[in-house]
A and B are shown apart, each in its own frame.
Chain A
Amino acid sequence: MLKVLDFFNYARSKSPWIVHFCSGCCSLEMLAAMGPRYDWERYGYIMTPTPRQADIIFITGLVSKKILPALLRTYEQMPEPRYVVAIGACAYDGGPYNDSQSVIKNMTEILPADVFVAGCPPKPEAIIAGLEELKEKIKRGEPSASSQGGLWKKMKF
């Protein structure tokens, strides 16, 4: 039985689907990673327009107060196991918008991410490298960070 579960995790790690959701400017580099030069489909990643089929959600850079409920609702609609990848400095602590009035600065407390990709914005190589790291985590069958805790469980959305 154990072996079969391992196989599921292995299979899951080989083709993670990513929900098509962008909340900030880092999605431009996501687009570049999709493009011909970097081409993340070589590694099995593909975008899907619906959260119901997705395994991964990206926090692409800044999250403003207004988009947060939409982001959390999209996240909630994804089936388990679901993973979160935070891209860019903004997703960690607000980055260059740390002084701004309208940007969420503690995104990591609200929706803990499994992988952080540093940069403002990170290069496409870095995004793909971050996703490769997540693959290892999926293969090991570890639970995702956001399922363990986070303020999002207490929030209304």
Chain B
Amino acid sequence: MEKLKNILNKYETEYVEDYKSNWVKAKLKNKEDLLNLIKDLKEAGVKTCSTVSPTDFIDDNKIEVNYFLENLKDKKNVWLKVDLPRELENCEIDSITPLMPSAKWHELEAYSTYGVKFKGHPNLRYFLISRDYYGKFPFRKDFDWKAHEKNLIENVNSISEEFFEEYEENEETFDKEGSRTVLNWGPTHPASGPIRLKVYVNGENIEKVDADIGYVWRALENLAERKDFIGTIVAVERICFMDNPNPMICYSQAVEEIAGKEITPFAKFMRVILGETGRIASHLISMGGFFGTMGLQTFLMWCLDVREYFLDVLEDYSGARIATACVEPGGVRYPLNDYKAWFETLNKAINEWERVKDDINDIFLKNPLMVSRAKDNGIFTKDDVEEFYLAGPIARASGFKTDVRIDEPYAGYGELEMDYVTCENGDARDRLFIIVKEVNQSIDLIKQAMKKIEEGVEAGEMNPAKDHLVRMPRRMPAGEAVTRVEWARGEMLMHLVTMDKSTSPYRLKLRAPSVNHTMVLDRLISGKTLSDIPLLYGSMHICQGDLDR
């Protein structure tokens, strides 16, 4: 920590201070210093950029760019701020992508939505937003959305034009002498979901992959600014329905931090149980999807069957299967009047997993077809993890020990026993194995949390019928917070900014892991053949919901 502070103090800063246990927060005075500072930080081990998040302070006529830089090995992170003028011509800063490739798409996103130009970015272009917003920077506070929305149908037609233009482009790039072609993989491919990979092929060999995203862009970050602090839950939980409770936990923590409230121990362990249930539900789809992309549907059906039991748990608690809205700032939403009955449902789900666990191991994980296709295919090394910031299961499959639940414990995880689960090779098969290992770990955590609640109730310290929620103030004080959770598919980071006496968030940045995981597809798939695309794509466990937000 001291080392990082010394580096930061070498430059002109407004302040350098500690933030939480493993962050240093600093504000840089001159934007010209940025590249040198990043170089120094990189030498000190901070090699990864988690995300780039601009905030538009229209009253002060400035845009503040936040960089979240992480040292994945030593878990010491830097939160760096730089002020930029708001005028479009001068809103310019050096790109850090040449030094930290993990920032590549995050900078593009900041450019498309806020108009922050990044000098020296390898390919600065509009990205993620739909074509009718090109050059309009829709997340700026003075963007007139209602006027834009008036001519909806014409706007929609302008998007079709992109379709046609690109269609012609593909035709033009046909090389008559060779057989180079641009193939569109998606957006309607059954294995993909709404994403399009432009695959440049020579015969069957893939030369380059270019991902086109934004097909489920819902502008959630902007949507959150139109809702109040409770209503934002609706936007936040819809990042991705596969793992529903964890994003809400992340957002609620940010609000609690700004309001200065502490939740009850009961709510903490409830968050563990709900979060892990969501993780298992997501992992079961990931596992099944992996086999589904190979055309083997049986395993998908097995997984969906087990998943239903875990959805029953969520349904029993909140009344909804996947859109649960079960966590809110201050704790968890509902009391547990009969906690024993709920635990019984939970135990039923756990037993269901334990029942099929061995069969899954014998029949599917040793499946010779899967092994021959996935083993030693699509390897990521530990350096790749740091360079491109692969998070969660993908990083752990390469043997990288990273897990927010241990590095920066939140909810009740600090009081539970857990260790990093890792695999070694980092190939596609390991990315399946790690998922199975994590489900087992989650079940262990759920059992521990259930025990803690039972003990607490017996000792009279917890009351499940009353302790679920702490009263939160309706109006928030001014402040900002950064929280992270370990989501099913990796680290999720939220940056919340509030104004004094506000009833809705001023800015909410959502950082989700699939962005980086899609960014590396080019590196992963190039040089392989066409039949590898679905398998390797499936092994990254990408969800378009959190890719586009």
Binding site for B on A (CB under 8 A): 20-25, 27-29, 31-32, 34-37, 47, 49, 62, 64-70, 74, 96-97, 99-106, 120-121, 123, 151, 154-157
Contacts and interface: CB of A to CB of B under 8 A. Distances in A.
Main secondary structure of the interface of A (DSSP, over half): loop
16 contacts: A28-B242, A29-B321, A35-B307, A36-B308, A47-B190, A64-B214, A64-B215, A65-B130, A65-B132, A70-B188, A70-B215, A96-B235, A101-B219, A104-B152, A151-B153, A155-B153
A101 B222 contact: yes
Contacts of B240: 25
Nearest to B138: A101
A147 to B, nearest CB: 20
B163 A23 contact: no
Contacts of A24: 216
Contacts of B133: 101-102
A23 B161 CA distance: 20
Interface centre among A28, A103, A104 (most CB of B within 10 A): A28
Contacts of A20: 188, 190
Interface of B: 129-133, 138, 145, 148-149, 152-153, 155-157, 159-161, 163-164, 187-188, 190, 193-194, 214-220, 222-223, 226-227, 234-235, 238, 240-242, 285, 301, 304-305, 307-308, 311, 321-323, 545, 548
A29 B320 CA distance: 12
Contacts of B159: 65-66, 68-69
B223 A37 contact: no
B301 A121 contact: no
A61 B238 CA distance: 12
Nearest to B189: A49
Q: What are the 4 A-B residue pairs with the smallest beta carbon separation, nearest first?
A: A35-B304, A65-B130, A20-B190, A36-B305
Contacts of B545: 25
A22 B194 contact: yes
A106 B155 CA distance: 13
A86 B152 CA distance: 20
Contacts of B193: 22, 27
Nearest to A101: B219
A150 to B, nearest CB: 12
A101 B145 contact: yes
A17 B152 CA distance: 32
B222 A66 contact: no
A74 B217 CA distance: 20
A151 B163 CA distance: 19
B156 A104 contact: yes
A157 to B, nearest CB: 5
Given A29-B321, A66-B130, A35 B308 contact: yes
A99 B194 contact: no
A86 to B, nearest CB: 17
A62 B216 contact: yes
A6 B156 CA distance: 40
A2 to B, nearest CB: 38
A100 B145 CA distance: 10
Interface centre among A31, A47, A99, A104 (most CB of B within 10 A): A99
B233 to A, nearest CB: 10
Contacts of A65: 130, 132, 155-156, 159
Contacts of A102: 129-130, 133, 217-219
B217 A66 contact: yes
Contacts of B242: 28
A90 to B, nearest CB: 9
Contacts of B164: 156
B234 A70 contact: no
A68 B152 CA distance: 12
Nearest to A151: B153
B326 to A, nearest CB: 15
Contact of B223 (A35, A49, A70, A99): A99
A121 B322 contact: yes
A67 B215 contact: yes
Contact of B304 (A31, A96, A101): A31
A103 B222 CA distance: 12
